[in-house]
Amino acid sequence: MKEKLTSLEEAARLVKDGYLLGLTSSLENAPMAFLRELVRLGSKNLRVAALTGGSLNVDLLIGAGAVAEYEACHHSLGGYGPAPNFQRALRGGSLKMKDNT
């Protein structure tokens, strides 16, 4: 079998601007270090599909201005209430949301 170990930065570079990013996490086991690395690399215009919904994971990317389009069934910070960056971006029209109930 092929060894697949690499650095966080190299892994984050696999995500090009405009790519569709798939996530299944919520406030549980979100790949936050990876997503912060994406922000650090200046990722732009990402499309995100979050199964079934998103949480802090996508909210961070939205707050960093990295997301152009977002498809999910729901988005919140769970017991912590609404996700502020998501709500502001949606109301401000800077985020295209595809409701996928």
Binding interface with other proteins (CB under 8 A): 1-11, 14-16, 19-37, 39-40, 49, 51-52, 55-57, 59, 63-64, 71-73, 77, 80-81, 83-85, 88, 98-101
Neighbours of 90 (CB within 10 A): 16
CB nearer to other proteins: give 16 or 44: 16
- For residue 43, the minimal CB distance to other proteins (Å) is 11
Shortest CB 13 distance to other proteins, Å: 10
Nearest to 61, CA basis, from 80, 78, 45 = 45
Q: Tell me, rounded to whole angstroms, the distance of Cα 35 from its chain centroid.
A: 7
Residue 33, CB half-sphere, CA atoms under 13 Å: how many? 6
